[in-house]
Structure 1
Amino acid sequence: MDEVQDQRLLDIWSQKRIPVVYKQARSFPVLVRLPYAPNNRDWLRGDQRRKPEWNEKFKCWETPQAWFDYDINLALQKYGKVFVVQLYKEQQKCAPACWNAEGFHCECSCMGANHGSGHPGGSWHEISDTFAFSWGEKKYACRLVSKKTL
């Protein structure tokens, strides 16, 4: 969270009604901010072997990177929607590899809007399954995922 400069992302992180799943750069844990409930740790852990760790600085739970999709699906089941914050590359284009993907991890410029859609429709010109540009630095962006958008 320290590297986020975007005020909109900071506002989303600070609100307390909708869960936030924040995927940091590789090798760092996923940060999960939930509306308060006394059993959040046990609920988030579920039947996973590892236990979520409390991050006092950011007032959130830390989970392994491998739990990213699990965290999102769990929040969707209980709350119906979740903010997903993750890195993407500015100027990167979307591709069939994204449209046919499974799970929630998406680094292309659609930020998940087309992810797993099969085909987003419209006037896309497919060059190849992996056509993408990667201009610019990685930045954090946010999308709201809800049960009805899946």
Structure 2
Amino acid sequence: MHGQVIAKVPPRKGNRRWLHETVGIRSPEFNGDRWNLPRSSLVRLVTAAVDRYGFMVLWRDMSRLSQCTRACLEATGVECQCACLGQHHGQDAAGWFERVGDAVVADHGECTRTAVVYGARGSDVDAAVYHGELAGEHYRVDPSGRREWPTAAQFMCASCMTERASVWDHCHTHGFVRAPLCNRCNTRYWRGWRPQHGRTTHSRNLDDSYYGWCPQRADERRGCSA
């Protein structure tokens, strides 16, 4: 309601760098257990969070308006201030994320609060093997930067090759797109992954050769071998 974007991100080394370099926030402000971010970063934040974690939950506080319009259904952003309270917002848009769960609505007096789970947008085509369709492309989270990109779900996961990909992985050192991955392979190096916490172990059929789709990594290896 008041133009604030507050992000609660799982504690992890490199969060500030991720917000600065990947989401494109000049000076992210950390306050207690959350980050205070500019409103203009909301769409980029959702896109980047879906790529990093597989899904994210967006809470909105808003005032009710009289009707849900076509502009709401075709919206490409994530800000919604109409009577549907975010339940239908953007459902007809070709964005990079989509609602994957029901909206939870709560009455908070002067405003109404909704919570919507977003995940990567799927694809209706048969999954194909990735052959570097985005090789040499810099990773982007803004809609204009991804306008010509295929969805990750059009490909099989480049790491395990056992299920459809859902997010785009990128090189955090050089900033290039590497390959489409499934959520499990995309987070397998996170130390928070523990079977005793209810997370299944990843497949043993792993192939990290997709790292080579970063052109600067390939250059570094050639330099070392020389």
TM-score bracket for this pair, using the shorter chain length? 0.5 to 0.7
TM-score (norm 2): 0.42
Residue aligning to 2:90? 116
Q: How many residues align?
A: 107
Give me the whole-angstrom Cα distance separating, in 1, the residues matched to 2:25 and 2:83: 34
Q: Is the 8 A contact 1:93 1:109 kept in 2?
A: yes
Change (3 A) 1:97 1:44: same
Residue aligning to 2:174? none
Kindly name which structure, 1 or 2, has the bigger radius of gyration based on alpha carbons.
2
State the 1:148 CA deviation. Answer: 4.4
**Long gaps (5+) in structure 1:** 1-23, 120-135
Paired residue secondary structure (1:46): helix
Give me the whole-angstrom Cα distance separating, in 1, the residues matched to 2:14 and 2:61: 30
Residue aligning to 1:41? 16
Residue aligning to 1:10? none
CA offset digits 1:3-34 (Å, max 9, x no partner) = xxxxxxxxxxxxxxxxxxxxx512xx411111
State the 1:42 CA deviation. Answer: 0.6
State the 1:110 CA deviation. Answer: 2.3
Change (3 A) 1:137 1:93: farther
Q: Is the 8 A contact 1:111 1:143 kept in 2?
A: no
TM-score (norm 1): 0.61
| Structure 2 counterpart of 1:94, from 68, 90, 95 | 68
CA offset digits 1:25-80 (Å, max 9, x no partner) = 12xx4111111111101111125251211012xx1111111101111111011111
Moved segments of 4+, more than 6 Å: none
Paired residue secondary structure (2:6): strand
Q: Is the 8 A contact 1:86 1:142 kept in 2?
A: yes
Residue aligning to 2:2? 25
| Structure 1 counterpart of 2:51, from 59, 62, 77 | 77
**Long gaps (5+) in structure 2:** 94-108, 124-226
Q: Percent identity?
A: 26
How much is the aligned-residue C-alpha RMSD, in angstroms?
2.5
Q: Give the partner amino acid of 1:69.
A: V
Give me the whole-angstrom Cα distance separating, in 2, the residues matched to 1:67 and 1:91: 24
